[in-house]
């Protein structure tokens, strides 16, 4: 059982990384059910396409009632594991699940819980710090760092693929999260219009929960750019392989972009993205422009224009990125779960 939510406010990142783990679990003959507060039709279709059942939570996320419903459904389905992902789930939530005799895997990004009693705490981020989890049970295992980065099934066949850096870059992928509530996508489009390069080929991808799709469609029609706008795609590896560089948010998409060796200009859209974007920038994997409200269209245009013309920098970014993510993280997490399931 996977307990995670998605909405236009919190985005789809929690559910999408859980989907990556779900696919790896299915490949090892586990059956998977999602328990969610609600889901958009595209997200429901995405899960259904992967033979994943959906149940709907009724109580306030993270509450005692939520935990009890989660336990009831997990036991009803005779599931052995409950996977929990979301900042609304705290120490007490974990404790209630463990007291019910369930095995618990708990996603964490920055040590936001006072005490951890899950069987496994998974933090797939660069710079995940064991000190954040000093207050944990003796049996709690830590899976920390990029060797546990989860990639969805569509990326698995791209392991070992090498990017060719062209002398002249012109294909740009814009992907700013599943929901993008502040419509930073529109800011990025306006920024690209400032670049005086008629050969640019731009693909803008928006998620199924993006509330600004109609506005973006209208804006695109008034622009002279060679730009395509697509929604809720399922072939991101192919699009990342097609592109020469990307403009992206600072979330879990960064791991996919790094795996594909795509040089990326990052704009952070949420607080939990800041640290990751800064660390990736320090390693030379991305160019981090910082917080979206502080980033001007001119700054985006300048960063992209410079990177387009600098194939050496693109080459260095691509190589460092692919060294960071090997694409086997999902399988490592499943093996850790199997060791506890079949000791």
CA 283, 288, 290, 292 dihedral sign is negative
Q: Which DSSP string corresponds to 256-291?
A: HHHHTT--EEEEE-SGGGHHHHHHHHHTTSEEEEEE
> What does the pLDDT read at residue 50?
93
Rounded to two decimals, the pTM is: 0.92
pLDDT at 197: 84
Q: Give the residue among 231, 199, 219, 154 at the shortest CA–CA distance from 305.
A: 199
Cα distance between residue 113 and residue 104, in whole Å: 15
* Pair 34, 53: CB distance under 8 Å: yes
CA distance 328 to 331: 6
| pLDDT the model gives residue 295 | 97
Reference 81, options 8, 32, 116, 46; nearest CA is: 32
Burial class (CB in 10 A: 0-12, 13-18, 19+), 42: middle
Rounded CA separation 256/299 (Å):
24
> Which residues pair with residue 116 across a beta bridge?
136
- Tell me, what's the pLDDT at 341? 86
Sign of the alpha-carbon torsion through 203, 206, 212, 217: positive
What are the φ and ψ backbone dihedral angles of 252, each rounded to 5 degrees? -70, -15
Q: What is the pLDDT of residue 274?
A: 92
Query: 313 with 307: CB under 8 angstroms?
Result: yes
CA 120 to chain centre: 20
The per-residue pLDDT for 208 is 74
pLDDT tens-digit profile, the chain (343 residues): 999 998 777 777 899 999 999 999 999 999 999 999 877 778 888 899 999 999 999 899 999 999 999 999 999 999 999 999 999 999 999 999 999 999 999 999 989 999 999 999 999 999 899 999 999 999 999 999 999 999 999 999 999 999 999 998 999 999 998 788 899 999 999 999 999 888 999 999 998 778 898 999 998 888 888 999 999 888 999 999 999 999 999 988 999 999 999 999 999 998 889 999 999 999 999 999 999 999 999 999 999 999 999 999 999 999 999 999 999 999 999 999 999 988 7
């Amino acid at each position: 059982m996977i307990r995670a939510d998605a909405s236009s406010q919190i985005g789809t990142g929690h559910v999408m990384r859980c989907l990556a783990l779900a696919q790896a679990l299915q490949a090892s003959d586990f059956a998977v059910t999602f328990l969610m507060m609600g889901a958009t039709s595209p997200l429901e279709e995405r899960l259904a396409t992967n033979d994943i059942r959906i149940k709907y939570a009724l109580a306030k996320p993270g509450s005692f009632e939520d935990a009890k419903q989660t336990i009831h459904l997990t036991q009803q389905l005779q599931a052995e594991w409950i996977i929990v992902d979301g900042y609304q789930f705290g120490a007490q939530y974990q404790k209630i699940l463990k007291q019910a005799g369930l095995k618990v895997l708990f996603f964490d990004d920055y040590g936001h819980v006072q005490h951890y009693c899950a069987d496994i705490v998974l933090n797939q981020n660069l710079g995940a710090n064991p000190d954040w989890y000093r207050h944990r049970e003796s049996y709690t295992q830590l899976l920390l760092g990029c060797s546990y980065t989860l990639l969805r099934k569509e990326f698995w066949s791209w392991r070992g693929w090498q990017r060719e850096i062209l002398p002249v870059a012109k294909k740009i992928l814009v992907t700013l999260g599943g929901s993008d509530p502040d419509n930073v996508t529109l800011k990025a489009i306006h920024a690209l219009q400032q670049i005086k390069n008629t050969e640019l080929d731009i693909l803008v991808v928006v998620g199924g929960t993006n509330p600004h799709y109609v506005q973006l469609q209208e804006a695109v029609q008034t622009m002279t750019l060679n730009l395509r706008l697509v929604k809720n795609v399922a072939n991101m590896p192919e699009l990342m392989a097609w592109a020469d560089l990307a403009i992206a948010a600072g979330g879990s998409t960064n791991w996919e972009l790094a795996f594909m060796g795509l040089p990326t200009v990052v704009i952070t859209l949420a607080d939990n993205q800041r640290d990751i974007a800064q660390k990736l920038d320090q390693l030379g994997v991305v160019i981090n422009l910082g917080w979206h409200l502080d980033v001007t269209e001119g700054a985006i245009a300048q960063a992209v224009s410079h990177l387009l013309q600098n194939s050496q920098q693109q080459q260095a970014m691509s190589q460092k990125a692919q060294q960071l993510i090997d694409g086997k993280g999902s399988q490592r997490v499943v093996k850790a779960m199997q060791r506890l399931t079949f000791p």
